[in-house]
Amino acid sequence: MVEKKHANIFKCLELKGKQRYSNSEMQFFFFSFSSAEGYFYFQFPTSDFKLFSYLWPEILFVKIMERRVRVRFAPSPTGPLHMGGVRTALFNYLFAKKHGGDFLLRIEDTDQNRYVPGAEDYIIESLKWCGLVPDEGVGFGGEYGPYRQSERKVMYKQYADFLIENGFAYYAFDTAEELNSLRKEAEANKHVFSYDLHTRNNLKNSLTLSPEEVLERLQTGEHYVIRFKMPENRDIIEEDLIRGRVSFNTNQLDDKVLFKSDGMPTYHLANVVDDHLMKITHVIRGEEWLSSMPLHILLYESLGWSETRPYFSHLPLILKPEGKGKLSKRDGDKMGFPVFPLLWKDPETGEYSRGYREDGYFPEAFINMLALLGWNSGTEQEFFSIEELIEAFDLSRVVKSGARFDPEKAKWFNRHYLHQKSALELAEQFKPELVDKGIEVDGNKLEIIVSKIKDRCEFVKDLWSQSHYFFVAPESYDEKTIKAKWKADTGEKLLTIATFLETIEEWKAETIKELFSAFMASKEWGFGAVMVPIRLALVGASTGPDLFEILELVGQQECIRRIEIAVELLK
């Protein structure tokens, strides 16, 4: 029975095995594939293929039965969600959906000092706008809750205690002031103070104090933290699904605080405990976490969870369009593009930060742009629907280096999506703006107008600037065009034309064009001399679709009126 299953698995393997990495020692083959039972990822050395294929089925069988792909997006509610955060959520979402798994939203609010009201709702609303709807999490239900770490507070202590009991962690009583002064001192000597295996024996902790004293300090309620006791001289080697082999030596790592004196766990403990309890199979997060990966691996090991611990992958950061460093709120303000998905009002300063939604981006354009920032399908395809992204997504095709954000390309994506939309749909979105301006238009006519101008727009908000003359007479005329095209006899010619237009009975673009051409021929006037001036009179500038279509849509009497006004004003 088991054998039969293996046959299927091997078939799957042949189909999906595709990724080859090389590193300094030998070549490895990596396989990742999903089946009805779940997702599996593993590696083996080329030379050992026969041996491995003989040995591995059982291991694989166990893993497959146990693990359904589960990933989480775990932001901290310290402010609006950055577009880099949205991209992290997106990649998690794509990965989950690709492998038929679950995408969870967990709110990491273990730092009460940095809590910003409204941030959590903002995160949820942002994900919804982007279409990245979690299967479980804060605001979405699920069986592994609560999904807000502050509400899980009571659960963490036992794991910290377990670590202490088993010698993986210890109590530390050093005050913030003491540590700060040690840091200052080290800085003065051009060193950096680190609470680690070199210094912990000279500090106030349960490693240096007698058991009695430790007990007494605990009983008198003295403030303490629990620190991880980083083991000595161990090489932690891990295959990051994006970056390949990454290695660390524990001698370089410090004893991180796991449990704070306020009774809350730090990110490291809470993260590992929750990922374990929520059965997370793949941790996909930003590069800023790469350095703490060895700590997390060691935590899984110390807690006895190595067998089921997740795979790690660290996403590159999004960098500023110009200059140094990662993309920040300031860049957006300075260069005029949004950094956040939605408009955000800072609850403290009242300051606004623009959002992609409010700036007129379509969520699908925003997502498409974000997906291509640091990932590509390996083909030349650039436009992807969310379904296509899910189908094509693969962590191994995520680029390792940071990507500079290009606002121009973001606009280009939006333009593309706008052009793809039907005039009807765009007209619907345009209507509220017209109503606001007190303009009433017949739906059919509006759709026709939109169809004429949508290709010249980048955003829905451009619809007005490209079509206002269909609804309202121009209030001014473009100076350059006047200079170039408005000659001494232009006014007179236009009045003659106005009189002629009055005589047209069927006010249709085609008919007008036909009769107009005949009229021009009879007068022996060149088109060039009058076309632009007429356009100027109707539109106010030298832009817009075919002039005869404008004539038709603006209406006979209104056209004549506008020509007369222009002639009067431009005398």
Positions in 231-250 near RNA (CB under 7 A): 243-249
Phi/psi of residue 489, nearest 5 degrees: -95, 5
**Helical (H) or strand (E) element with 409:** helix 407-420
Q: Considering only residues 402, 421, 425, 431, which one is a binding residue for RNA as defined by CB under 7 A? A: 402
- Tell me if 444 contacts RNA by CB under 7 A: no
* Nearer residue to RNA within complex by CB, 539 or 560: 539
Phi then psi for residue 255, to 5 deg, are -85, 90
| Total interface residues for RNA by CB under 7 A | 87
| Residue span binding RNA (CB under 7 A) among the ranges 44-52, 127-135, 289-297, 558-566 | 289-297
Give the sign of the dihedral formed by CA 140, CA 141, CA 145, CA 151: positive
Among residues 546, 452, 563, the alpha carbon closest in space to that of 500 is found at 563
**Burial category of 112 from C-beta neighbours within 10 Å (exposed 0-12, middle 13-18, buried 19 and up):** exposed
Residue placing its CB nearer to RNA in the complex, 12 or 531:
531
404 is a contact residue toward RNA (CB under 7 A): yes
- Binding flag, residue 124, RNA (CB under 7 A): no
Question: Does residue 151 bind RNA (CB under 7 A)?
Answer: no
Nearer of residues 121 and 235 to RNA, judged by Cβ: 235
Give one DSSP letter per residue of 92-123, joined into a string: HHHHHHHTT-EEEE-B----GGG--TTHHHHH
Contact yes or no for 512/504 (Cβ under 8 A): yes
Query: Looking at 254, 359, 364, 447, which residue binds RNA (CB under 7 A)?
Result: 254
Tallying the residues shown for the chain, one arrives at 571
- Residue 182-211 contact track with RNA, rule CB under 7 A, x = bound: -x------xxxxxx----------------
Identify the residue among 266, 302, 313, 467 touching RNA (CB under 7 A).
Answer: 266
Quick check: bond before 533 cis, omega within 30?
A: no
Q: Where are the alpha helices (DSSP H) in 131-210?
A: 153-165, 176-188
Nearest to 511 by CA among 546, 549, 543, 537: 549
DSSP for residue 355:
B
Task: Provide, rounded to whole angstroms, the least separation between the CB of residue 299 and RNA.
Answer: 14
CA 274 centroid distance within chain:
23
181 contacts RNA (rule: CB under 7 A): no
Q: Is 96 in the site for RNA (CB under 7 A)?
A: no
Active site residue 485: no
Q: Among the options 326, 329, 461, 493, which is catalytic?
A: 329
Q: How far is the CB of 362 from RNA (least distance, A)?
A: 16
Minimum distance of RNA from residue 309's CB (angstroms): 19
Measured from the CB atom, the residue of 323 and 350 that comes closer to RNA is 323
Residue 455 DSSP one-character state: G
Tell me if 298 contacts RNA by CB under 7 A.
no
Q: What does R_g of the chain's alpha carbons equal in angstroms?
A: 33
Which x/- pattern over 355-374 shows residues binding RNA (rule: CB under 7 A)? -----------------xxx
Collapsing DSSP to helix, strand or coil, 280 comes out as: coil
- Tell me the C-alpha to C-alpha distance, in Å, between residue 264 and each of 163, 271, 527: 16, 12, 79
C-beta separation of 288 from 296 below 8 A: no
Scanning residues 27 to 86, which ones bind RNA (CB under 7 A)? 74-76, 78
431's tokens: 């209507």
Shortest distance (Å) from residue 510 CB to RNA: 13
Each residue 308-337 as x (binds RNA by CB under 7 A) or -, in order, gives --------xx-x----xxx-----------
User: Does residue number 509 form part of the binding site for RNA (CB under 7 A)?
Assistant: no
Q: Which is nearer to RNA, 379 or 503 (CB)?
A: 379
Which of 120, 122, 132, 121 is closest to 92 using CA atoms? Answer: 132
Smallest distance from the beta carbon of 1 to RNA, in angstroms?
40
Question: Taking CB under 7 A as the rule, does residue 521 contact RNA?
Answer: no
**Among 397, 421, 468, 493, which residue interacts with RNA (rule: CB under 7 A)?**
397
- Return the number of the residue (308 or 376) whose C-beta is nearest RNA: 376
Q: Which residues are catalytic?
A: 329
